[in-house]
Copies of this chain bind each other. A is one copy, B any other.
């Protein structure tokens, strides 16, 4: 039913000049939170800043700097940041407009990446997408999220604890790590999805109801949503890998190939799920029709057995003067016996025909 939400958001902007900074999307958080992580192999500092200007001194340093902004409704912050880091107005517009498709654009001096971070919507029950935008430069990554809370905590931990190659390698590796975290999270989403499909399959065999059909269709819709969010990733990562930009080093490129493989795997899994769901639809329809057939068959058989019997009773209910059988001593008993025999013969016939 949420089919229209996204378009509605967008149509609000129709007619405004391009590059106008308007936050398109739900305001998901009250406060804007800006966190800054700055590191080299030896040093590491992390702080939450109140004012975006506090981040600007780090621009010139040779250290790798990661600025993360949670909450997009404070347009001024984004604007100041854009001015300082010389971001193209259209990029700022894309960051604020949360209806973007995942994409990767190369602006010579920096690379702009849009991703969708998925999570299960605990309240409404379906899937929820949060837009994550990233600007990658030689020695900094700026990421933008719609609200506080993300899948990057483990990356922060790895940075803090100085383990792994993440502290040795540059900003491009950090960007890769963020993309990888988002993609890895899709596996978690898919797992829950798979569980849903499995439980639905069991329910389908045990007790299919009209509600099941609705659930299958909502599953289908969620899958289309999932697919739409993930499919462009393929092109995105491919674009990153093939970029001629010096911002992505060969060392990182090998890691991107790995994420690419994961993306293909996820797309494969989604296709399998899609096949499974349409299989479920077939099974549902045929089990509904089987069930109806079962009802009709048994009921029709009952009717069919009694109709000839009632006819026999009808014959001896006629008021003809001369009906010799009526006078017989055992007439009634014989009539009853005949009825029983007819009923039994019909039952045997039905059974032989495998209708019972």
Cα(A93)–Cα(B261), bound, Å: 13
User: For A165, what are the chain B residues with a Cβ–Cβ distance below 8 Å?
Assistant: 17, 19
**What's the Cα separation between A311 and B14 when bound, in Å?**
70
A300:B299 contact, CB within 8 angstroms: yes
Q: How many residues on A have C-beta within 8 angstroms of the other chain's C-beta atoms?
A: 117
Verify B320–A198 contact, CB threshold 8 A: no
The CA-CA distance from A347 to B214 in the complex, in Å, is 29
Task: Knowing A194-B3, A332-B322, say if A299 contacts B301 (CB, 8 Å).
Answer: yes
Q: Give, as a whole number of angstroms, the nearest-CB distance from A354 to chain B.
A: 8
A160 within 8 A of B: no
Please give me the residue from chain B that is nearest to A300 by CB atom: B299
Q: Mark A314-356, 1 if CB is under 8 A from B, else 0.
A: 1111111111011111111001100000000000000001010
Task: List residues of chain A with CB under 8 Å of any chain B CB.
Answer: 1, 3-4, 6-8, 10-11, 13-19, 88, 90, 93-94, 99-101, 103, 105, 151, 154, 158, 163-166, 177, 180-181, 184-185, 187-188, 190-191, 193-195, 197-198, 201, 210, 213-214, 217, 220-221, 224, 228, 254-255, 257-258, 261, 264-265, 268-269, 272-273, 275-276, 279, 281-283, 285-288, 290, 292-293, 295-304, 306-311, 313-323, 325-332, 335-336, 353, 355
